[in-house]
């Protein structure tokens, strides 16, 4: 009996030795371990410290900021591992030189920057790009942005933002891919691959950063930096999937978030950063804090002072400290006191060095700082062409009555009106990196170029959207009273056959810190519309905005509406391409448009509740508003074309899925109009009864197909059983047996439907 016991013990020992066996060291590991072995604790802590340059600040200046001179001294003494907001090949070279030539080990800096939708050539804002439902475009724009940024000495972008955003009051929805975790995952992957390419050491690629980990978009009432109260089931199924997709795509870094989640600061969350990301997902890169998010644990009430913040952040798994100076001031002390194990600091430094190694910075710290490249590789004709292509495919046709669009060749006079009609700046959008002020092609310029001399253009601004200077960190003051431009606009409308009215949001109305309680048309814009509508009903509204808008009156009255978003450098040309019919619009909304802000957050994949309104329309004791419908103004996935599509019934290859099952769903889509067009065919499922309730619909696939006029195409989706499960709140992924609805169609509401069963 004893012998058996000893034998079993032996087997257990051998097995555990096998599983604990470290993977063999490769060249990268050897290099990094060797370097780490030479580093003092202070030098390791230096690697964890990130400062902004003083000439562009994307957050509030830290208290007790010592200024540029002291920063230079710190660079020289090896107390800085990374800088953000240093721009240009020359400046990055200079800073790099300071570090490489003055510090004991000469470890190069990694330069980070917010390259969100282009570097110099601006692409549509990310929300718009997601409206293309074409991940290849996100890949392309990220690739070009990486190329331009790299040529300017940038190694690392704080992008993509993969926060699933359901609340249009939150201004940062412009930076993401909208409200759906599946679409968000597809775009997360495409963007990471676009920025990073196949090889991080390639001179044309830069490291990406999945942010903000996690749940930042769920800030209460859409107010930026506010606390987050979401349940674990929503966290697992809605928030985390795009982060997982980014991690699977090999994203080099993650950024944590400003918010708390159920009282726990994301920055201190060892569940998120250590257990999930680094252990379960086997993420090899590093986590950077958000701007002073470590220091902000003090006002959150989660740390008494900066020392405790540093303690909580390093314990939680934040590797790099952006702008809090918590690590540089307190980590050594915390180790000396025995409160923090040095191994944690070594691990954080290892992760940072690993990414520097992969970028090739140890081979050539200056490889990205090339003034010649910078001169020739930015804002090229090729990049601007790409920006135009991406922009036109991102636009969504919301309404088109009276066949106003595409503009008929018989139209000989067009009024171009509105505060955004000749605005060369708003299309650049917020988070514009090095995109220059007033550098976009305006709608007026675009349409003039498209029609040439054959059509008379009557331009009038009508009214201004805001008063005074609008700059990055300031709040805007909207024009509520200056109607002096109305008369000219009315005249222009009167003498024209067609009106193009460009209204919506200024570029600095959305983005970080731009939360709003009113997401309608600000200032006098609706009044301007009404004044013009009185004299000319042939109005095509061109919306330029960074978030879904609540605009029921406009939608009711305007016969045609094109959602053009903040469309980037080539906005005007791209809009004209669509208006003239040179490109048939194919975009679909990545976020629902509410009827009223009171519906926010509003999203297609809601839970049915125990009293779904559909069962008793008009009755109050059911889940409904008494003063507005539950339904959105425009649903997720919605968008029109200049042609029309018809869907057949869905054909399933089987209706019962077994153990390791797969299933295919096919549908015929016919182009029944006169023009060739692209349609985004969308597939949704609904798990009818589950342990934890499931949404009424979940997007599980889509395909964008070009269908010629009169042609029919069969679109087939293959689903495997493992795609049909969901996460329990504890994070366990489960596929449950039972009945499922399956839907296919051109938006999340107008759908063909069938059923299948999982055994
Ligand atoms: C704060 C923002 O939340 C983050 O997204 C950005 O990358 C950093 N500032 C750096 O600018």
pLDDT score at 660: 79
Is 456 a pocket residue for ligand 1 (Cβ < 6 Å)? no
Q: Whose CA is nearest to atom 7 of ligand 1?
A: 158
Determine the residue of 52, 55, 58 to mutate for testing ligand 1's pocket, defined as the one with the most ligand atoms within 8 A of the Cβ atom: 58
Is 163 a pocket residue for ligand 1 (Cβ < 6 Å)? no
Are 415 and 555 found together in one domain? yes
Considering the domain boundaries, does residue 637 fall inside one? Answer: no
Is 160 a pocket residue for ligand 1 (Cβ < 6 Å)? no
pLDDT score at 557: 98
Is 58 a pocket residue for ligand 1 (Cβ < 6 Å)? yes
* pLDDT at 12 > cutoff 50: no
Q: What is the pLDDT of residues 368-393, one digit of tens each?
A: 888 888 999 999 999 999 999 999 99
Is 158 a pocket residue for ligand 1 (Cβ < 6 Å)? yes
Are 668 and 572 found together in one domain? no
Q: How many CB atoms lie within 10 A of CB 171?
A: 25
Is 51 a pocket residue for ligand 1 (Cβ < 6 Å)? no
| 59 CA closest ligand 1 atom index | 9
User: Distance (Å, rounded) from C-alpha 537 to C-alpha 555?
Assistant: 13
| Spacing, Cα 313 to ligand 1 middle (Å) | 17
| 209 CA closest ligand 1 atom index | 7
Considering the domain boundaries, does residue 709 fall inside one? Answer: yes
- Evaluate whether 652 touches 667 at the Cβ level (below 8 Å): no
Considering the domain boundaries, does residue 674 fall inside one? Answer: yes
Determine the residue of 156, 158, 432, 473 to mutate for testing ligand 1's pocket, defined as the one with the most ligand atoms within 8 A of the Cβ atom: 158
Is 291 a pocket residue for ligand 1 (Cβ < 6 Å)? yes
pLDDT score at 203: 93
Is 211 a pocket residue for ligand 1 (Cβ < 6 Å)? yes
| Spacing, Cα 113 to ligand 1 middle (Å) | 9
Strand pairing report for 662-671 and 560-563: unpaired
Are 563 and 674 found together in one domain? no
Q: What is the pLDDT of residues 148-180, one digit of tens each?
A: 999 999 999 999 999 999 999 999 999 999 999
pLDDT score at 53: 83
Q: Whose CA is nearest to atom 1 of ligand 1?
A: 291
| Spacing, Cα 85 to ligand 1 middle (Å) | 11
Based on the residue annotation, tell me whether 687 is a catalytic residue of this protein.
Answer: no
Residue 382 parent element (H or E): helix 381-394
| Spacing, Cα 144 to ligand 1 middle (Å) | 21
Mention every residue, 6+ apart, whose C-beta is less than 8 A from residue 691.
728, 734, 736
Are 544 and 649 found together in one domain? no
Return the axis-axis angle of helices 181-196 and 135-151, rounded to nearest 10°. 40
Cα–Cα distances in angstroms (integers) from residue 471 to residues 409, 476, 479, 509, in the given order:
40, 8, 16, 11
Residue 209, strand partner residues: 253
Is 59 a pocket residue for ligand 1 (Cβ < 6 Å)? yes
| Spacing, Cα 258 to ligand 1 middle (Å) | 10
Considering the domain boundaries, does residue 719 fall inside one? Answer: yes
Is 513 a pocket residue for ligand 1 (Cβ < 6 Å)? no
Considering the domain boundaries, does residue 752 fall inside one? Answer: yes
Are 399 and 520 found together in one domain? yes
Question: What letter does residue 13 receive in the DSSP assignment?
Answer: H
| Spacing, Cα 469 to ligand 1 middle (Å) | 23
Q: Whose CA is nearest to atom 11 of ligand 1?
A: 58
- Give the residue from 574, 590, 606 where a domain finishes: 590
| 175 CA closest ligand 1 atom index | 5
Any alpha helices (H) in 401-511, and if so which ranges? 443-451, 486-494
Max avg pLDDT among 1-5, 65-69, 562-566, 659-663: 562-566
| Spacing, Cα 100 to ligand 1 middle (Å) | 27
When pLDDT is cut at 50, 70 and 90, the band that residue 469 belongs to is confident
The residue from 290, 423, 425, 577 that is catalytic is 290
- Evaluate whether 630 touches 624 at the Cβ level (below 8 Å): yes
When pLDDT is cut at 50, 70 and 90, the band that residue 351 belongs to is very high
pLDDT score at 659: 75
When pLDDT is cut at 50, 70 and 90, the band that residue 16 belongs to is very low
* pLDDT at 22 > cutoff 80: no
What is the rounded average pLDDT for all residues in the chain? 94
pLDDT > 90: what percent of the chain?
A: 90
User: Distance (Å, rounded) from C-alpha 579 to C-alpha 427?
Assistant: 17
Helix/strand/coil for 746: coil
Four-residue CA torsion sign, 326, 331, 336, 338: positive
Q: Which phi-psi region, left, alpha or beta, contains residue 323 (left: φ > 0; alpha: ψ -120 to 50)?
A: left
Are 454 and 575 found together in one domain? yes
Determine the residue of 291, 434, 513 to mutate for testing ligand 1's pocket, defined as the one with the most ligand atoms within 8 A of the Cβ atom: 291
Residue 101 parent element (H or E): helix 89-102
| Spacing, Cα 161 to ligand 1 middle (Å) | 10
- Could you tell me the CATH number of the domain that includes residue 700? 2.60.40.10
Are 703 and 564 found together in one domain? no
Q: How many CB atoms lie within 10 A of CB 233?
A: 17
Are 581 and 466 found together in one domain? yes
Q: Which of 560, 605, 588, 591 is nearest to 705 (CA)?
A: 588
Question: How much helix, strand and coil, in percent to the nearest 5, is found in the chain?
Answer: 35, 20, 45
pLDDT score at 23: 76
The residue range of the domain holding 649 is 645-758
Is 512 a pocket residue for ligand 1 (Cβ < 6 Å)? yes
Are 478 and 542 found together in one domain? yes
| Spacing, Cα 291 to ligand 1 middle (Å) | 6
| Spacing, Cα 127 to ligand 1 middle (Å) | 17
| 159 CA closest ligand 1 atom index | 7
Q: How many CB atoms lie within 10 A of CB 724?
A: 20
* pLDDT at 433 > cutoff 90: yes
Determine the residue of 115, 290, 293, 324 to mutate for testing ligand 1's pocket, defined as the one with the most ligand atoms within 8 A of the Cβ atom: 290
Considering the domain boundaries, does residue 740 fall inside one? Answer: yes
| 85 CA closest ligand 1 atom index | 11
Domains identified in the chain, total number: 2
Q: What is the pLDDT of residues 81-140, one digit of tens each?
A: 999 999 899 999 999 999 999 999 999 999 999 999 999 999 999 999 999 999 999 999
pLDDT score at 460: 98
Is 511 a pocket residue for ligand 1 (Cβ < 6 Å)? no
- Give the residue from 565, 590, 615 where a domain finishes: 590
Q: What is the pLDDT of residues 258-302, one digit of tens each?
A: 999 999 999 999 999 999 999 999 999 999 999 999 999 999 999
Considering the domain boundaries, does residue 5 fall inside one? Answer: no
Considering the domain boundaries, does residue 742 fall inside one? Answer: yes
Residue 248 parent element (H or E): helix 240-248
Are 676 and 577 found together in one domain? no
Q: What is the pLDDT of residues 623-670, one digit of tens each?
A: 999 999 999 999 999 999 999 999 999 999 999 998 778 999 999 999
| Spacing, Cα 148 to ligand 1 middle (Å) | 20
Q: What is the mean pLDDT of residues 415-422?
A: 98
pLDDT score at 474: 75
Are 712 and 563 found together in one domain? no
Determine the residue of 472, 473, 512 to mutate for testing ligand 1's pocket, defined as the one with the most ligand atoms within 8 A of the Cβ atom: 512
Are 577 and 461 found together in one domain? yes
Is 431 a pocket residue for ligand 1 (Cβ < 6 Å)? no
pLDDT score at 73: 82
Determine the residue of 59, 226, 293, 515 to mutate for testing ligand 1's pocket, defined as the one with the most ligand atoms within 8 A of the Cβ atom: 59
Query: DSSP for 201-234?
Result: TSTT--B-EEEEETTGGGBGGG-TT--B---HHH
- Give the residue from 544, 567, 590 where a domain finishes: 590
- Could you tell me the CATH number of the domain that includes residue 502? 3.40.50.1700
Q: Whose CA is nearest to atom 4 of ligand 1?
A: 290
């Amino acid at each position: 009996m004893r012998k058996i016991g000893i034998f079993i013990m032996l087997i257990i020992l051998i097995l555990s030795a096998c599983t604990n066996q470290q993977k063999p060291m490769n060249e990268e590991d050897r290099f990094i371990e060797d370097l780490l072995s030479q580093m003092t604790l202070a030098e390791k802590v230096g690697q964890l410290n990130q400062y902004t340059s003083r000439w562009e600040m994307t957050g509030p200046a830290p208290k007790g900021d010592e200024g540029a001179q002291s920063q230079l001294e710190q660079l020289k003494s090896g107390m800085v591992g990374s800088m953000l907001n240093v721009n240009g090949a020359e400046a990055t070279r200079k800073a790099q030189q300071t570090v490489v030539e003055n510090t004991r080990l000469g470890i190069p800096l990694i330069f980070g920057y917010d390259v969100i939708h282009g570097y110099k050539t601006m692409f549509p804002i990310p929300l718009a790009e997601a409206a293309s439902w074409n991940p290849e475009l996100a890949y392309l724009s990220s690739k070009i942005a990486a190329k331009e940024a790299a040529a300017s000495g940038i190694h690392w972008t704080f992008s993509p933002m993969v926060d699933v955003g359901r609340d249009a009051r939150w201004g940062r929805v412009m930076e993401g891919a909208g409200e759906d975790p599946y679409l968000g995952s597809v775009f997360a992957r495409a963007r990471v691959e676009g920025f990073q390419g196949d090889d991080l050491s390639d001179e044309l690629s830069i490291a990406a950063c999945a942010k903000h980990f996690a749940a930042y978009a769920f800030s209460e009432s859409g107010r930026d930096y506010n606390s987050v109260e979401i349940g674990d089931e929503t966290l697992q199924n809605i928030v985390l999937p795009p982060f997982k997709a980014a991690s699977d795509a090999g994203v080099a870094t993650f950024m944590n978030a400003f918010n708390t989640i159920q009282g726990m600061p994301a920055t201190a969350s060892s569940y998120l950063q250590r257990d999930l990301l680094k252990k379960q997902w086997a993420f090899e890169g590093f986590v950077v804090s958000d701007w002073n998010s470590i220091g902000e644990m003090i006002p959150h009430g989660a740390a008494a002072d900066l020392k405790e913040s540093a303690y909580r952040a390093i314990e939680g798994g934040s590797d790099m400290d952006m702008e809090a100076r918590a690590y540089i001031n307190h980590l050594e002390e915390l180790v000396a006191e025995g409160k923090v194990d040095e191994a944690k600091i070594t691990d954080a430094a290892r992760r940072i060095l690993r990414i520097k190694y992969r970028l090739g910075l140890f081979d050539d710290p200056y490889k990205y700082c090339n003034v010649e490249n910078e001169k020739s590789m930015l804002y090229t004709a090729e990049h601007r062409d790409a920006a135009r292509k991406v922009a036109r495919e991102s636009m969504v046709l919301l309404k088109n009555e009276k066949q106003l669009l595409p503009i008929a060749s018989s139209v000989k006079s067009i009024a171009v009106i509105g505060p955004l009609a000749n605005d060369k700046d708003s299309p650049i959008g917020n988070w514009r990196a090095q995109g220059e002020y007033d550098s976009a092609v305006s709608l007026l310029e675009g349409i003039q170029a498209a029609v040439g001399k054959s059509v008379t253009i009557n331009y009038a601004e009508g009214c201004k959207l805001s008063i005074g200077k609008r700059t990055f960190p300031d709040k805007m003051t909207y024009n509520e009273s200056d109607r002096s431009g109305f008369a000219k606009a009315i005249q222009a409308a009167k003498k024209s056959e067609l009106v193009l009215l460009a209204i919506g949001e200024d570029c600095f109305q959305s983005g970080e810190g731009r939360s709003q309680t009113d997401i309608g048309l600000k200032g006098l814009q609706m009044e301007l519309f009404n004044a013009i509508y009185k004299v000319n009903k042939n109005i095509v509204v061109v919306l330029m905005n960074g978030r879904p808008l609540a605009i029921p009156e406009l939608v009711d009255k305007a016969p045609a509406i094109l959602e053009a978003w903040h469309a980037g450098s080539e906005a005007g040309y791209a809009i004209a391409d669509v208006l003239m019919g040179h490109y048939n619009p194919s975009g679909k909304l990545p976020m629902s448009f509410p009827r009223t802000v009171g519906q926010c957050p509003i999203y297609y994949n809601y839970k049915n509740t125990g009293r779904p309104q559909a069962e008793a329309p008009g009755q109050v004791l059911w889940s409904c508003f008494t003063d507005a419908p539950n339904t959105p103004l425009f649903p997720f996935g919605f968008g029109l074309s200049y042609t029309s599509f018809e869907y057949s019934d869905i054909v399933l290859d089987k209706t019962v899925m077994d153990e390791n099952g797969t299933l295919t769903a096919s549908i015929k889509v016919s182009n029944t109009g006169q023009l060739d067009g692209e349609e985004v065919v969308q597939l949704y499922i609904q798990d009818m009864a589950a342990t934890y309730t499931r949404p009424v619909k979940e997007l599980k696939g889509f395909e964008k197909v070009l269908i010629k006029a009169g042609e029919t195409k069969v679109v087939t989706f293959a689903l495997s059983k493992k795609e049909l499960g969901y996460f329990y709140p504890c994070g366990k992924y489960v596929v449950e047996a039972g009945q499922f609805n399956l839907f296919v169609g051109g938006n999340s509401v107008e759908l063909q439907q069938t059923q299948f069963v999982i055994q």
